[in-house]
Each structure stands twice: as structure tokens, then as C-alpha cells.
Amino acid sequence: MKKIHLLLLKAFIRPFFVTFFIVMFILLMLFLFKYVDDLIGKGFEWYVILELMYYASAANVSMALPLSILLSSIMTFGTLGENYELVAIKSAGVSLQKAMTPLFVLIIFLAIGSFLFSDYMLPKANLKYGSLLWDITNKKLSFLIKPGVFNNSIPGYSIRVDKKGDDGVSLYDVMIYDHTSTSGVPKIILAREGTMSSNDQYLFLKLKDGVRYEESGGRNSYGNPRQELTRMRFKETDQKFDISSFNMNRTDEQFFRNNTAMLNLKGLTKKGDSLNRDLDSLNKFAALNVSSYYKQNNYTKGYSKVKTAPKPIKSTLLATIPEADRLASVQAAMDMATSVKQVTSSRISEYEDKIKNITKVELEYQRKFTLAASCLLLFFIGAPLGAIIRKGGLGLPVVMAIIFFLIYHIIATVSEKSATTGSLRPFFGMWLAIFVLSPLGAFLTYKATVDSVLFDLDYFKQLTAKILRKKES
């Protein structure tokens, strides 16, 4: 390998890793901002949040990898052009295509690796991420006793303390409302002080120097509306509260395994075949049910060998029926039409769900390939663009990379949504952005190869003047 190839590889790899980890960090911060309400105040261990971020980072590779390739390629060739190293390379007889060859080979390996990642590792990461996020978002808020605030987290109880000790377990001026009684009248417990302890199943409050109030019906309650108040003073008592529902129980991952985003190519093909078979069965069953309402399919067709000529109807069909039987015929036809409508309407929602699931499977199937193709496309946009603008660093290259990536991302998102709604076929929905931007990549590569500016105003002026002269002549 030539030294110039090693120079280009070193100049590309360094900004690639830097931009990749920067983009991953930004995407993880956006993820934390999105789910901050589900993560804060639930008493999770640090390693649970770290595990969730690790699985979420795998899902962000599909956005971080193409963007980092685009940005690093612009920075690499922009820096080479700014330092006149690209001019020296061309003056040595090495064309831009030959200079891009080692980087092109590297991008091919990255594209193959991204395809293998999206087919083997990403489904497993999505499975872990989806099941863990489900458990986190469905976990109840952790039991936190704050001074001066009634806490209703434990079902059937309202607890309030005026002050908490510095040790975090000492409580002062405790008030507990017990709403678990079937009579509807709460029991009240007041205590001067207490201590708090807990395990995975129960919360224990050891109360001291207090009183317990309880209301109940009188002993001779028949015809006597008065109630009986019981007051019990205590020096020390224990209260136990069930907090097992506050613990996070991990859900079995098998419940999420059949999700579309958690399948590889083989699983997607199998699921697509199953959905198509179910759709065919649904259509056949619906057609069989509807056909039973047509008399010619049940009584006439196949049961008579008599051949008669068709009888033309010159007037309306209703006029051929005797007048005495017209009302009954119309009523029977309306009843039959209503029955057909009920039979078909009950199948429409199921049919639409099947179509949506099939579309999702096809979109996810194509997504496995578009990630690799987007890496190649954005490289052929970024490398010649950097050679044309001849600016390195994190200034203009970052702006240009964000602009082109936003164009790609907007087209890909809109086309995917259109495919989801049925406006586009799933294949075109996933590949439309690549088809649209591929001519742009070819145009930029041609401009960089012939050392032409991006938009030559003199050329367009001469072309316009030439067209005008032809029109005048």
C-alpha cells in the first residue's frame, strides 16, 4: 500500500471516531431527555439506567454511522484541500478516484459491517431494550416520604410527617390515615416520633408515644345513628405496609420476541409468509360468507342442466316483480344487504391490521439494506464536497454535513411514513432517499474530479446567452 493511502486512511479514521462518539453522545442525551420522567424518582440502581443506555445506543447506530461518515469525509478532504495536500496528490499523478480508493474500500467494509450489525446484533439489542424500557415505564414511583406532604403512593394509606431526621430514617410528628376499612371511615394514627426501615416486600414504621383513633357503629346500632369512637394510646407500636408493587420485575423477553423490530432477515421472511397466509385465509373466509347470501350460488348454479336464453329486461328490475310482492322483495333485499354489510365490516378492521403488519415487515426487511447503502451514498456526497469547498475543521464542514443529512433524513422519513400509510410501496418508501440523492453524489464526484467549482456562474451566463441568441435567430 502506498504511503499516500496510509495518509488518507489516518486522516479519515481519526475524525470518524470522534464524530461518531459525539453524535452517539448527543443522541443518548436526547434519549435521556425523552424518558427523564420515567427514570427519575423510581429508585433505579445506576447499572439499570446504564444498561438501558447501552441498548439504546445500539438503536442509534443507524443514524450515527451515516452522519459520522458524511461529516468525517467532508472534514478529511476539506482539510486536505485547505492545506493544498490534495493539489500535491493530484500533481503527483494520483487522481481523485485513486486517492478515494482506500477510503472506498474502508467504507465498503463499514457498510458490510453495518448490514451484519442490523441483521444479527440490532434485533437482539432491540429485544433487550424494548423489554427493559417496558419494565421501567410501567414501574410505580418509589415510596418517598417528604416532610410536610401527604404521600398517597401506598394504596389505602396517606402518610405525612412534619420533619425527617438527618439520618433519613427518623420521623417526627407522624400522621397516618388508614383507608383500608370497609366501613368507609378512615383510621387515624398520630405519633410524636418514629423510625423507618424497609426490605423488598414491606415498609416498617416503628412509632412511639402516640394515639390511634377509630370510629365504628354503636353496639345497639338499630335505629341509633350515633357512632362509637375508640381511642387507644400507645408508647410504642409497629406498622407494616406492603410495597412489593414498587419493585421492578423483569418481563420475560419471549413476549417481545415476535415484534418486527426484533427480528432478523430470516425471522422477517417467516413472519411475512405467516401474515400473507393469514390474509389469504381471511379473504377466502370473507368471500365464502358473502357468497352464501347470493341465491344463484346456492340454488341455481350447478343444479340445473336446463339451458334457456337470457331474458332481456327493458324496464327497471323492480317492474318485473308482481306489484303485490314488490314490498316484500325490497324488504328482503334490504335485509340481505344489511347482513352483507355487517359481515364485511367486521372483517375490514382485521384486514387493515394484517396489511399494516405486512407493510411493517417489508419496511423492516428493506431497512437492513438501506443502512449499508446510505453509508456508501453519504461518503460519495461528503468526499467530493470536501474536496470542492476546501475547508477543514468543525466549521463549514459541520454545517454542510448537517444540511445534506437533514435532506436525506427528511426524504427518508417522509417516504417511510408514506409507505406506512399505503401511498408508496415499501421498497420505494425505504429506498427513495437513496434514489433521489444518488444523482447528487455522482454530480459532486464529477465536479471534484474535473476540478470544477460547484456552480460556475460564467458557464451558466454563457449558456443563457447562447440560448437567447438561438431564439433571436
pLDDT digits (tens, 9 = 90+) for 324-366: 777 888 888 888 888 777 777 777 777 888 888 888 888 888 8
Least confident of 130-139, 173-182, 312-321, 416-425: 130-139
Query: H or E segment at 215?
Result: strand 202-217
Same domain, yes or no, for 128 and 168?
A: no
Query: H or E segment at 213?
Result: strand 202-217
Print the domain residue range for 17: 3-139+366-420
Q: Residue 261 falls within a domain, yes or no? A: no
Instruction: Say whether pTM exceeds 0.85.
Output: no
Same domain, yes or no, for 103 and 163?
A: no
Same domain, yes or no, for 22 and 98?
A: yes
Q: Tell whether the model's pLDDT for residue 269 goes beyond 80.
A: yes
Last residue of a domain, one of 246, 277, 301: 246
Same domain, yes or no, for 106 and 198?
A: no
Q: Residue 33 falls within a domain, yes or no? A: yes
Same domain, yes or no, for 18 and 105?
A: yes
Q: Tell whether the model's pLDDT for residue 380 goes beyond 80.
A: yes
165-179, 220-234, 238-252, 422-436: which has the highest mean pLDDT?
422-436
Q: Tell whether the model's pLDDT for residue 106 goes beyond 50.
A: yes
Same domain, yes or no, for 124 and 22?
A: yes
Rounded to an integer, the average pLDDT of 201-214 is: 84
Last residue of a domain, one of 379, 398, 420: 420
Give exposure, 132-171, as e/b (b: 16+ Cβ within 10 Å): beeebeebeeebebeeeeeeebbeebbbbbeebeeeeeeb
pLDDT for 68 equals 87
How is residue 457 written as a grid cell?
456562474
Same domain, yes or no, for 167 and 42?
A: no
Q: Write the secondary structure of the chain as one string of H (helix), E (strand) and C (coil).
A: CCHHHHHHHHHHHHHHHHHHHHHHHHHHHHHHHHCHHHHCCCCCCHHHHHHHHHHHHHHCHHHHHHHHHHHHHHHHHHHHHHCCHHHHHHHCCCCHHHHHHHHHHHHHHHHHHHHHHHHHHHHHHHHHHHHHHHHHHCCCCCCCCCECCCECCCCCEEEEEEEECCCCCEEEEEEEEECCCCCCCCEEEEEEEEEEEECCCEEEEEEEEEEEEEEEECCCCCCCCCEEEEEEEEEEEEEEEECHHHCCCCCCHHHCCCCHHHCCHHHHHHHHHHHHHHHHHHHHHHHHHHHCCCHHHHHHCCCCCCCCCCCCCCCCHHHHCCHHHHHHHHHHHHHHHHHHHHHHHHHHHHHHHHHHHHHHHHHHHHHHHHHHHHHHHHHHHHHHHHHHHCCCCCCHHHHHHHHHHHHHHHHHHHHHHHHHHCCCCHHHHHHHHHHHHHHHHHHHHHHHHCCCCCCCHHHHHHHHHHHHHHHHC
Secondary structure letter of residue 156 according to DSSP: T
Same domain, yes or no, for 164 and 108?
A: no
Question: What's the domain count of the chain?
Answer: 2
Same domain, yes or no, for 88 and 169?
A: no
Q: Residue 66 falls within a domain, yes or no? A: yes
Rounded to an integer, the average pLDDT of 265-271 is: 85
Q: Residue 453 falls within a domain, yes or no? A: no
pLDDT for 297 equals 47
User: Residue 352 — φ and ψ, nearest 5°?
Assistant: -65, -40
Percentage, residues of the chain above pLDDT 70:
81
Same domain, yes or no, for 7 and 135?
A: yes
Q: Residue 294 falls within a domain, yes or no? A: no
Q: Residue 416 falls within a domain, yes or no? A: yes
Q: Residue 125 falls within a domain, yes or no? A: yes
Same domain, yes or no, for 36 and 107?
A: yes
Same domain, yes or no, for 114 and 10?
A: yes
Q: Residue 177 falls within a domain, yes or no? A: yes
